[in-house]
Structure formats: C-alpha cells, structure tokens
C-alpha cells in the first residue's frame, strides 16, 4: 500500500521552516570545506560525480575519484541524533527511509563506477572529517595517477 504524502505543510510555520532549509552551503558543510582546504586539498563543490546519475556530492575530488556527502542528522536518520517528528510522523519516517535507501543506492552506483564514497554526519567534527578525507584522497591520488597530484582543475 502506498504511503499518502501530504501535499501541503502541516502549518504555515512548518512551510516557512521547510523553505528556509538550505540545499548546500550549510554551516557544517562550510566548516568541513574550510578544514579540507586548510589541509591543502582542492575540490569541486556540489557536482555530480557521475553526470548520468542525478546525485550531487558535497565535495568531489575528480582525479582521486572520491565523493564526499555530508548527511544531516534529521534528513538521513542519524543513529545518534535523529528525532521523530511530532507532526506528520509517518510522512517524515517514510521520507527518511527513502533518503537512506537513495543514499545506499548512490554509494553502490558510485562504488561500482570506481569511486570511493565518504559519508560524514553533520555533527562530526570538521577537522577529524577532513583528516579522513585527506587520507583517502592522498591514498587514491597516488594509486590512480601514480603521483601525488591533489588539485582538481
């Protein structure tokens, strides 16, 4: 049985709140980008690693084939911080379930195409996350190119 999706927000306040949510350049995303940049890495922002697939990664290292996604705790069902919505609970539970399914499919498609996918929770510290990303990019850059070229152009 298909889940009925509300066509409107449950209230005017909910509608305004949803409209205010940013799709990119969030505070956690910007903090991560600053930390990665401070380590000397250069990347592309909000692009599709595979142009044929409508999935946009937050940071993309094209030469090393590393795609980084920063997942919001509410939207992607963080095991530590996800909270259930008090209003339209079934709708939001289904929305998060579909997001997680799409995330898993994205990971699979990119991995099959030779990409390394890194998922970062919005609550993870930018510095620790940047170190994980740098280690992967350094390792893959030397493996893929036979050099330590880390800059995307």
Which domain covers residue 110, as residue numbers?
A: 24-55+71-145
Alpha helices in 43-146 (DSSP H): 89-112, 126-145
Does 97 map to a domain?
yes
Residue pair 150/137 in contact by the 8 Å Cβ criterion: yes
Residue 109 placed within a domain? yes
Return the pLDDT at 153. 40
Q: Tens digits of per-residue pLDDT, 88-98?
A: 889 889 999 99
> In the chain, what are the helix, strand and coil shares in percent, each to the nearest 5?
40, 15, 45
* pLDDT tens-digit readout, 4-44: 555 455 666 655 655 566 668 899 999 999 999 999 999 99
> What is the token pair recorded at 142?
């030397």
Structural domains counted in the chain: 1
């Amino acid at each position: 049985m298909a889940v009925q999706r509300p066509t409107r927000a449950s209230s005017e306040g909910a509608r305004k709140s949803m409209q205010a949510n940013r799709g990119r350049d969030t505070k956690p995303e910007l903090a991560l980008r600053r930390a990665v940049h401070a380590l000397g890495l250069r990347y592309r922002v909000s692009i599709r690693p595979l142009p044929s697939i409508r999935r946009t990664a937050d940071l993309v290292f094209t030469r090393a084939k590393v795609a980084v996604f920063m997942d919001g705790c509410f939207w992607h069902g963080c095991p530590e911080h996800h909270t259930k919505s008090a209003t339209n609970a079934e709708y939001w539970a289904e929305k998060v379930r579909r997001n997680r399914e799409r995330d898993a499919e994205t990971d699979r498609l990119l991995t099959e195409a030779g990409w390394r996918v890194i998922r970062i929770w919005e609550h993870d510290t930018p510095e620790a996350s940047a170190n994980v990303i740098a280690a992967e990019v350094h390792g893959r850059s030397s493996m893929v190119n036979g050099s330590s070229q880390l800059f995307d152009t």
